Amino acid sequence: MTGVTVIEATHPVRLGFMPESQAIEDPEHLGLRRAGPRAAAPYGDDRVEFHHCPAVDLVRADPGELDLHGAGFDSVDLTGIEDLQRTCAEVLAAGAITDAQASAIRTALDGAVLPAAHGPDLRVLYIADEGLIMRTAGPNGRSLVGPRSVGMNGHGQAVSIHVDQDVHGTPLTQVMEGRAPTLFVHDSPDDSNRDGSLMLVNLWIPLRQTVQPLVLADGRSIDRRRHQLRFGLPTGSFLERGEDQAINDIYTLLHDDEQRWYFRSEMDHRSAWVFNTLSTPHGAGVLPGEDSAERCYLALEAAGAAVAARDAAALEAAIAEVDVTLSAMPQTDALRAAVEQMVALLDVARDDPARVIGTGAAAWSEAAALARSSVVRTSLEMRLVVTVDPDRTA
């Protein structure tokens, strides 16, 4: 990990992977493998194998050579795009995104130059018509959405590590008439293209991200031929596509100890991740201490219902079993602060239940709702074609 300082920055983050038992030989790509017919999609936890992987928190570490062309990801500064900032704040407050807000986000990003943290600036050339969605996730992998998404809303977190698009597969083959591998920078199990500056990328904008951070792999640590498996992802539940493009060709990943993982523990919509859609393994991670956050989140939910009903017995029951010890507290500063705030509110209810149910009900309930929202991860993502801005060299 050249140039990366890892003192007090590495955490055992729980990540989901495809089990080795689900990997089969790929008859259409000799010498390579794919996920078998019973393999689970990245957005469900059925038949997923979880590992606690050392992941470097880039809030605490010098990222060194981790840029978009090298590692496959970088962060970009969005503070200068005022319309985007205003719209993101509105989406966060509402808890959902509308068509008008999606249009405003696209307009704000159209042709924009995105200042990258560690490499050359990126210029937005094209914004994909599909794929702008909002994801919501609770602490400790808790699902907060229904079984089916509704347009751009109602999408949960990616439970297991994956790569979003096979450069040789659907829909790129149809849309670009087979030219994608020679046009876009990519690293694939079949081949690679490292010569150009044109890239298909995901822009991942965190509206709030105290839990379930996006975790990304340094692509140089991935043995793509051994550990990257082709997978056919049905898109009918979240995209409107023709029959010839109904299956999206992506990759899932097998775990290996040599893989290197990175995340940021503190992040909001003032910055965003940009990563190579065709190459970069990524997914949601569970941080140490998210189990404590989940217990407090659920206790505050039950306590809030008791306060609304003015039910002293139910309030006592809601907080009786919650005991978050220091050893179980989160290791990242942002999550620790969020849990401490929830614990403080539970202590107030435990110490003075009569006031919390009586004259202090409105203030306590408002504070509890705000504290619970702090451990709900909300993010926007969309797909762009970018190029390195010729006016700046890294």
Over residues 182-205, the pLDDT tens digits come to 999 999 999 999 988 899 999 999
Residue 389 confidence class, pLDDT cut points 50, 70, 90:
low
Residue 346 confidence class, pLDDT cut points 50, 70, 90:
very high
Given a cut of 50, whether residue 291 has pLDDT beyond it is: yes
Give the total number of structural domains in the chain.
2
- Tell whether 175 and 240 lie within a shared domain: yes
pTM of the model: 0.92
- Tell whether 294 and 283 lie within a shared domain: no
- Tell whether 117 and 196 lie within a shared domain: yes
Given a cut of 70, whether residue 41 has pLDDT beyond it is: yes
- Tell whether 198 and 273 lie within a shared domain: yes
Tell me the pLDDT tens digit for each residue of 347-382: 999 999 999 999 999 999 999 999 999 999 999 999
Q: What is the DSSP string of 78-142?
A: -TT-HHHHHHHHHHHHHTS--HHHHHHHHHHHTT-EE-BSSS--EEEEEE-SS--EEEEE-GGG-
Q: Is residue 15 part of a domain?
A: no
Q: CA triplet 247, 274, 114: central angle to 5 degrees? A: 130
- Tell whether 84 and 225 lie within a shared domain: yes
User: pLDDT > 90: what percent of the chain?
Assistant: 77
> At residue 96, what is the residue type?
A
Q: Is residue 7 part of a domain?
A: no
> At residue 141, what is the residue type?
G
- Tell whether 303 and 182 lie within a shared domain: no
Residue 324 confidence class, pLDDT cut points 50, 70, 90:
low
Q: Which two tokens stand for residue 344?
A: 């403080």
- Tell whether 202 and 303 lie within a shared domain: no
Residue with the larger pLDDT of the pair 320 and 141: 141
Q: Is residue 55 part of a domain?
A: yes
pLDDT score of 304: 97
Give CA 165 to chain center in angstroms: 16
Q: Is residue 10 part of a domain?
A: no
> At residue 268, what is the residue type?
D
Cα distance between residue 256 and residue 53, in whole Å = 9
Cα distance between residue 28 and residue 158, in whole Å = 27
Residue with the larger pLDDT of the pair 51 and 45: 51
Find, among 369, 304, 301, 293, the residue nearest to 338 by Cα.
293
Show the domain range for 341: 290-373
- Tell whether 355 and 340 lie within a shared domain: yes
**CA Rg value for the chain:** 22
Cα distance between residue 271 and residue 204, in whole Å = 9
pLDDT score of 48: 92
Cα distance between residue 114 and residue 116, in whole Å = 6
Residue with tokens 């997923």: 48
Q: Answer yes or no: are the C-beta atoms of 270 and 77 closer than 8 Å.
A: yes
- Tell whether 248 and 316 lie within a shared domain: no
Q: State which H helix or E strand residue 292 sits in.
A: helix 290-308
User: pLDDT > 70: what percent of the chain?
Assistant: 91
Q: Is residue 35 part of a domain?
A: yes
pLDDT score of 198: 95
Residue 67 confidence class, pLDDT cut points 50, 70, 90:
very high
- Tell whether 222 and 347 lie within a shared domain: no
- Tell whether 143 and 203 lie within a shared domain: yes
- Tell whether 182 and 268 lie within a shared domain: yes
